[in-house]
Amino acid sequence: MPPMTSPAALLGAPYDAASSFRRGSARAPRTIRDALASPAGNSWSEALIDIADPRILIDAGDIALDESNARDDIESGVRRVLDSGARPIVLGGDHSITYPIVRAISRTVPRLTILHIDAHGDLYDEYDGNRYSHACPFARIMEESLAARLIQVGIRTMTGHQREQADRFGVEVIDMRAWVRGTRPTIGDGEWVYLSLDLDGIDPAFAPGVSHPEPGGLAVREVLSLVHDLPARLVAADVVECNPDVDPTGITSRVAAKLVKEIAAAMQPVRLDRDLRS
């Protein structure tokens, strides 16, 4: 398992062939990186951690993908980052990339907990005849027992089939109705956490540049609070489903970049926060 003082590593997974409605998210790793480096902002997180410090964040580039072998390519790319001692923050791409990422991550930690932020459950057994659609990654993950817990936040498109799947796999679903009543995820300090952040979990008023916008979602500040409140054992993350083709102002890429910055900072122990202020 990666040491808690290891840096985070940006890793692009420019893949959107499993998208069910609109492609375009394969171009997001570049636009998110551009937003992260933009002089419109700075490199400091809200916890006063400078992610420009290579002890905090490095860039591992993009995975070279062959669409016919994409899942294996993604899993191998993530393993290479883990083997280097870094903790990956994977920039998608569509949400199908989460399955091969978790396959790699699950080999490194015991009893993985996944915190999944999304408008959609992504629990279909198959979608349009494709078991590896971006609508299905968490069904594959739970079938293979790659995670001990799956906690979903922001869900607002549940179907009867997905409800059955959630019950079958013991998924802890905090839909938007429960969220507004005050329900929040409970994660212990000793758990190893993987964060999967689909940008359509955020209300399209804040992040319109996604392929499947769904009104009634989370505010950016609410998602940031979830990130800030995570336990220290954040082993890896993905940020997916930004679609630059429908994001003409670039605001969704900027939201993604803000979240990446705070995720990278959240991967560091509190003592590192203090040490790096000088």
In a domain, 120, yes or no: no
In a domain, 135, yes or no: no
Which pLDDT score, from 0 to 100, does residue 274 have?
A: 35
Has residue 278 got a pLDDT over 80?
A: no
In a domain, 73, yes or no: yes
In a domain, 72, yes or no: yes
Has residue 98 got a pLDDT over 50?
A: yes
Strands (E), 73-176: 87-92, 112-117, 149-155, 172-175
What's CA 17's distance to the chain center, in Å?
A: 18
CA distance 145 to 140: 9
Q: Average pLDDT, stretch 237-246? A: 98
Q: Write the CB contacts of 198 (distance below 8 Å, at least 6 apart in sequence).
A: 95, 116, 117, 118, 119, 120, 122, 210, 240, 241
226: enclosing H helix or E strand: helix 220-228
CA distance 200 to 209: 9
Both tokens assigned to 278? 């000088």
pLDDT tens string 184-232: 999 998 899 999 999 999 999 999 999 999 999 999 999 999 999 987 6
- Grouping H, G, I as helix, E, B as strand and the rest as coil, residue 116 is strand
On average, the pLDDT of the chain sits at 93
In a domain, 258, yes or no: yes
Q: Average pLDDT, stretch 23-49? A: 96
CA distance 100 to 75: 5
In a domain, 261, yes or no: yes
- Counting the structural domains of the chain, the total is 1
Contact call for residues 87 and 269 (beta carbons, < 8 A): no
**151: β partners:** 115, 172
Which pLDDT score, from 0 to 100, does residue 73 have?
A: 98
Read off the CATH number of the domain in which 47 is found: 3.40.800.10
Cα–Cα–Cα angle for 132, 193, 98, rounded to 5 degrees: 15
Q: Say what the pTM is.
A: 0.94
In which domain, by residue range, is 250 found?
A: 8-109+192-275
pLDDT tens string 52-63: 999 999 999 999
| Residue 128 burial (C-beta neighbours within 10 Å; 0-12, 13-18, 19+) | exposed
